Amino acid sequence: MTTVITFGTFDVFHVGHLRVLERARAFGDRLVVGVSADALNLRKKDRLPVFSEAERLEIVAALKCVDEVFVEESLEQKRDYILQYAADVLVMGDDWAGKFDEFGDVCRVEYLPRTPAISTTALIEKISTG
């Protein structure tokens, strides 16, 4: 059994999110996803996500490619989460390239190219300006 772990906010869920999760799952046979807590977003981005933590977890948990979800309470706990879920591979989009190389001693670390031209920020902008 190869367990893959990934992390994200997954706010205003879009096809870029779906694709990174599907590609992450293809690295193993169990995908565990840490969905960032509302409080973590407030601390790091100074704003709350559009969808609440409970809603974002519900959406991600319902995906065919996702086996388990949990709340990512803090960015600094990544090593603990990797060990807790016995992850063999950590997958992130390449906007995080190089940022998690330090975990290479406990799992394989992979960065995947982002889906171009789509982001939560751009969607919010598009919806609000019409």
Write the interaction track for ligand C2G spanning residues 60-89; mark x where CB under 6 A is met and - where it is not.
Answer: ------------x--x--------------
Which residue in 19, 3, 17, 37 sits closest to 119, CA to CA? 17
48 binds ligand C2G (CB under 6 A): no
Smallest gap, in angstroms, from Cβ of residue 95 to ligand C2G? Answer: 5
53 binds ligand C2G (CB under 6 A): no
The rounded distance, in Å, linking the Cα atoms of 36 and 11 is 10
30 binds ligand C2G (CB under 6 A): no
Q: Which DSSP symbol is given to 115?
A: P
49 binds ligand C2G (CB under 6 A): no
42 binds ligand C2G (CB under 6 A): no
Beta-bridge partner residues of 7: 34
First to last CA, the chain: 47
CA distances from 72 to 1, 26, 80, 124 (A): 23, 22, 11, 23
Contact 73, 39 (CB under 8 A): yes
Query: Which one among 3, 4, 5, 7 touches ligand C2G, defined by CB under 6 A?
Result: 7
Which C-beta is closer to ligand C2G: that of 17 or that of 25? 17
Q: Which residues bind ligand C2G (CB under 6 A)?
A: 7-10, 16-17, 20, 36, 72, 75, 92-93, 95, 114-115, 118-119
